[in-house]
Amino acid sequence: MSSQVWFITGSSRGLGRALVTAALEAGDRVVATARHPEALAEAFKEYGDRVHPLALDVTRPEAAREAVEAALARFGRIDVLVNNAGYANVSPIETSDDEDFRAQFETNFWGVHNVTKAALPALRQQGAGTVVQISSIGGRVGGSPGIASYQAAKFAVDGFSRVLAAETAPFGVRVMVVEPSGFATDWAGSSMTVHPIPDAYDSTVGEMNRLVRQSTAGAAGDPRRAAEIIVRTVHRGQVPTHLPLGVNATTMAQDYSRRQLAQATAWEKVSRSADFNEPYPAQLPAEDSAG
């Protein structure tokens, strides 16, 4: 599966930019999209006509369709679609600005929907393709104070992607959700607005913001390595449905799955008892059991 054509959103910086480089270094061709792609042509000029920068605001469905059409006109196909564009702002749910909350969701979920939907006819007609959704380990485990819109969108992306995989598998389309932990990008830097945090939320939102998002130690993840792993994985015949990236992501994913299984097991009889033909009532588990 060499010499593939990639379509990558959010290519101007961070993981998106690293993915452009990794795909080009692997010998592939790339349609690199961003809201302001002017710098991309200069940054990747050494790769010549194997990279095609395009302007794209993923929140606009018509813009997504136009960008996909331009990609097909240039390279004739799209083998790998990467929905990477996204950002998060910090605010407690109680005091969050509704417009800001919605704006984040427009990019983080509806952007994925818009670009995926625009590319699906081409992928279906080709009878092959890979959709890579850049999510977050928070999109699996959740519970990070201060970024409710971002994490809600990532949960939505996961649900969307599971249905997408079921619907498109007969067409030869693969779907992989990537779940990174903290990486050395500007996700928690210039891309993030931290709104005022009331004193009542200092121990949750404020503490998370200080310890994680504004830590002077920096994130542990290397975007270059992550990008190379994604490219190598996509070039395989099979891809995982979900790919955690980073030590924290791996640990959190495994711990979460264990807790989920333990809780489902502890409540199994109660859960089953909701059906007509099952014994009822069932005894509730002890208070100190698994949830």
The residues assigned a catalytic role are 135, 150, 154
Please give the Cα distance from 20 to 165 (Å, whole number). 24
Query: What's the CA gap between 7 and 126, in Å, rounded?
Result: 15
Distance CA 12, CA 35 (A): 8
Cis peptide before 198 (omega within 30 of 0): no
Question: Which residues lie closer than 8 Å to 207 by C-beta, 6 or more apart?
Answer: 145
Strand pairing of 29-34 and 51-55? parallel
Torsion, Cα 253 255 260 261, to 10 degrees, reads: 110
Sheet containing strand 5-8, strands side by side: 51-55, 29-34, 5-8, 80-83, 129-134, 173-180, 242-245
DSSP 284: P
- The first and second tokens of residue 278, run together, are 């099952």
